Amino acid sequence: MVSSCSVLFVCSGNTCRSVMAEAFFPYYWELAGMPGKLYVWSAGLATVGGLAASCETLLLLQSEGLNMERHRSRPLDAAMVEKAKYIFTMTADHKKYILERFPNCRNKIWTLGEYGADGSDIADPYGGGLEDYKMAASQIKQALLGITARLKSEK
């Protein structure tokens, strides 16, 4: 039986999509009845450290009873890649970028869509309205549901 699982979510700025995935995933993990301790965090490919999650992300998460006000953006680094058992990106371009820099992670990186949904990318809501964030959140949740189902079947 698995004693722990470490999951890293990656997007561009680490203020929207990956933050939502980080916040939502523990719920789907528990819903699936997954064993062991879950470690989940997020990072960005084009961010500086220390940025808060976007206002729209915080509002959306608060409406679902989740609080990520303490979140601060983190640039992806080698230690994060090494530590993660699973790395999920929001787009195929994110995955490609990471693989170019960390080719040894090939067996543990997927886009959310390819591992847990229909293969599509999660559109970046940054700069858009709350409806754009809701659409991204819906896509993320659907993929996370698929991811936990797949992980459960592989255990």
Spatial CA neighbour of 94 closest among 1, 36, 13, 16: 13
Q: For residues 35 and 53, what is the distance between their CA atoms, to the nearest angstrom?
A: 29
- The tokens for 24 are 């939502």
pLDDT at position 3: 67
Contact 9, 42 (CB under 8 A): yes
Query: Which of these is catalytic: 5, 16, 17, 74?
Result: 17
Spatial CA neighbour of 98 closest among 124, 76, 118: 76
* The CA-based dihedral angle spanning residues 48, 27, 141, 70, taken in that order and rounded to the nearest 10 degrees: -20
Among this protein's residues, is 11 annotated catalytic? Answer: yes
When the candidates are 3.40.30.10, 3.40.50.2300, 3.40.1390.10, 3.40.50.300, the CATH number that belongs to 4-154 is: 3.40.50.2300
Query: Which of these is catalytic: 5, 11, 16, 121?
Result: 11
Query: Which of these is catalytic: 55, 77, 101, 124?
Result: 124
Domain boundaries, the chain: 4-154
Contact 58, 89 (CB under 8 A): no
> In terms of C-beta density within 10 A (0-12 exposed, 13-18 middle, 19 or more buried), how is residue 38 classed?
middle
Among this protein's residues, is 124 annotated catalytic? Answer: yes
What are the pLDDT tens digits along the chain (155 aa)? 456 899 999 999 999 999 999 999 999 999 999 988 999 999 999 999 999 999 999 999 999 999 999 999 999 999 999 999 999 999 999 999 999 999 999 999 999 999 999 999 999 999 999 999 999 999 999 999 999 999 988 86
- Name residue 112's amino acid: L
